[in-house]
A and B are shown apart, each in its own frame.
Chain A
Amino acid sequence: MANLTTESRPVRYVLTAVALVFLFLFLLLPLIGVFWEALHKGWQLYLTALVEPEAWSAIKLTLISAAIAVPLNLVFGVSAAWAIARFDFRGKSLLTTLIDLPFAVSPVVAGLMFILLFGANTAAGGWLQDHGLQVIFAVPGIVLATVFVTFPFVARELIPLMQSQGADEEQAAIVLGASGWQTFRKVTLPNIKWGLLYGVILTNARAMGEFGAVSVVSGHIRGETNTIPLHVEILYNEYNFVGAFACASLLALLALVTLLVKSLVEWHLHRQQHASTLRTAEARLQAAQP
């Protein structure tokens, strides 16, 4: 009877054990496997696989496309969050749904759409090619596909955060005579910085790791249009497992950093919200009265 609202000790232990075994088999073991496969033939081979010119060019292309996609989607995400969380306008829920659309589409279909738009045999693609710009099977296509699949992350992270914080502080700043830009920089930004950081980190992780959409538009030209994930695929299909897993381990490290940042951000938000949760709870209590 120690605690009424929980199960008996054996039940707890069995359930916990089953859950942990499941997580170990399905999540942890694959992660360990990546590093094991990459390193079990020694550091030397590992490093060789990474500095090999084709791997190196894939790393560079990945960095470039992330460096373009992340800032663009950052600006977009902040703008969208400001418009949606701070103003009431017609069609707001439609806009929110449209922003989420890239999540609902298979990455392969996303790539397909860009081929239909900019492929060599389409009007837009033909025109661009005549003017010296190839989109599909080239770097611009890869960047476009990356921007598409990472489109919603920052906005998705910021909108609920800014909605829950409310506009009171910003309105106070405006009343006190601050300009719009000052208000954003000195009031909004400090309040959303952790959520923003997490949104950016997620965008970056997805940008560097995207496979399906990029695969469709890249054309797989070695040393030219291969990102790290595409390079991993090629090496793996050539049975160069050490090379494939060496490149994969870079991406796995990136994933671990992402998880770490996420934990930090959650911890910060939790601390930040602890005081305000108490206030909200009180307000809700009062609101619950008829």
Chain B
Amino acid sequence: MSKDKDFEALCTRGAVYGLGLEECRSVDEMMGRTPREVELAVIGAMWSEHCSYKTSRKWLSRLPGGGEEVVCGPGENAGVVSIGGGYGVAFKIESHNHPSVIEPYQGAATGVGGILRDVFTMGARPIALLNSLWFGGGGDEKTSSRMSGVVRGIGGYGNSIGVPTVAGETGFHDAYRDNIVMNAMAVGLVKLEELKLSQAGGVGNVVVYVGGSTGRDGVKGAVMASAGFEDGDEFERTTVQVADPFCGKRLLEACMEVVKEEGLVAMQDMGAAGLTSSSVEMSDKGGVGMELWLDCVPLREGDMQPHEIMLSESQERMLLVVEPDSLLRVCEIFRRHDLEAVEVGCVREGGDLRLLWEGEEVGCLPLSPLASLSPLYDRERKERPSVDSGYEGGSGGRSVEEVLKGLLGGIDLCSRREVWEQYDRFVGGRLLSEEGGDAGVLDIRECGKGLAVSLDSKPRYGAVDARSGGRAVVCEVWRNLVSVGSRPLALTDNLNAGNPEDPYVMHDFVETIEGMREASLVLGLSFVSGNVSLYNETEGRSIPPTPVVGGVGILEDVTKRVSHGGACEGWVVMSVGVRGSHLGASLYAHYCSGERGWGKVGRPPYGAESDILRERVYGEGVRRLIEGGVIGSCHDVGDGGMLVALVEMLLASGRGAELDVGEEDYGDHGFWFGEDGGRYVVMGADEGLLREGLEGEGLAYEVLGIVKGRELVLKFGAKGISLEELQFCVEGGLEQEVGWHEGF
């Protein structure tokens, strides 16, 4: 009887830390006694969705992770790929969706700070930031102010710490009205011999705490990010951390010095669940025990309890394992950067994490069971009943030109200038690419190469068919990297989804992964790092599956890169790839039907695996022709189809074009606006060479016309649209559509 009562009490206490009934049973089994408060807190955090990936772990392993150039795969602070010359690129993506809803500025800023630390904790100097943002459909103040806060927060951190934000995307849809998506990716450059891992080791080595002091901010942040929002949750401000980019900058510079120190065994950022996850992960990976002296941790508030210290997510902190001989030198480096470095524990034999307060044990957790008993769910999945939207197509009588102008000025395609102008793109002096291009291109002068980076999502497709959406997003990143002339190297992903306890959501989640798996296998790319953000739901409304995928590509010769701009008068304009026809779930379909709701206008492309194979063939061919100098300007065909890609190229070049398509083509809206995959618009000086090259690669193409003047003419004799008019459509859309303007 009393045993039952004890268990009941455990469940009540466990619930405070997000532990469910089954999980409390595991706690009982693991501890064999009544757990103390701090122990429950540590277990709750480690077994939260955020830290344990208990829902997704089973499925994440489906994503390919290895590869010739992969130095570090998933499981480290960031993934690392070799780019030759003794250098590597470390990169990872992270979400800060929940905090950015509650406190947009701080949520976004700390998201950027956190992902930067993941990269520089490995000894890599961050050289680029990217972000993917999804907000509500616009028109309401909530969306405007959130967007303003998030954009300012990203700039506030990145600009100050001095890492350029070089690419990204900002999308709007009602599906994100209550749960926004804020994903940030960081890319760092590392001399491979200076690469640092997070594996603790060496009994007797010292555990050093570095950085800002520990406060109550972010306590239970990992638990918060593992649940949906209910009414009133927006006021849970104490779960959001506060950013200090100046401290982050000092930490960055100090860490860059410290990684050169021989006696530094391991280093890890205190991210989600702070001291808890860093100490547990470092010792578990190294197969050693650890002792932490909590009374030595620098505190912002004197009366903090052990469980609060273990759970705090105060920013700009690192945990280091250092050989005793190096301790003084390491501490001196941090002190020079005006950072506190304190000895807070040691590496021990055995497999326990011992927590002490003034020499007295306040908690002791067995590390191996903490990992092995970590919950693993195979949640119920159920396929959504297929809805035949009955989409018939048709433009509602609009001409091609009318549709084009409507699309360009619409919320999905209009210029994001007002967003990205708030990000410093130039600091570091590496950016080579033009704004608005397919991928950011960075000068890696250390080894004479170029690095292309891109970040994308395709929830419009995923909302209809999760698997197609998963395939499409990987293919989009591939095309973006190819379009600048780079060879894609590897990927990182952030899977944003709703409440996984909803079988439909869970089904979509798995389908998304399967789609991404298929595409990455065919394209020969692996995922070297990643993150999952579940429970993006409010009062039962989940966001659609929103996988955000980032990629890096290498340019062996940076002078051979191209952009979507730079076309010259007289150049030939060609479309490469199958003839466009797929209008289901396209921007065209949404625009012409007036239906904003995703999933209501037919099925997306990438319905078959063969679509991916074509993607590979065309991507490789186009890249070779760029490398060979035959293609002078290139843009992939994505949202809005071929004509939109073409116009974006003309605007970037400041030139018009005279196309000469047949009457039948002119009237075929699938030809202009279809979103079939594996396609590019290319321009070049020498039509003969282009034809020869494309035929040599066995790629289908169509000559559309030539670059000419300052008007776009679609067929012989048709009325042209001036560049100015096209530009006018693209600019100003954000203000009109989102109600976002100066002052916000």
* A and B found bound together: no
* Chain B residues close to A by CB (< 8 Å): none
* Chain A residues close to B by CB (< 8 Å): none
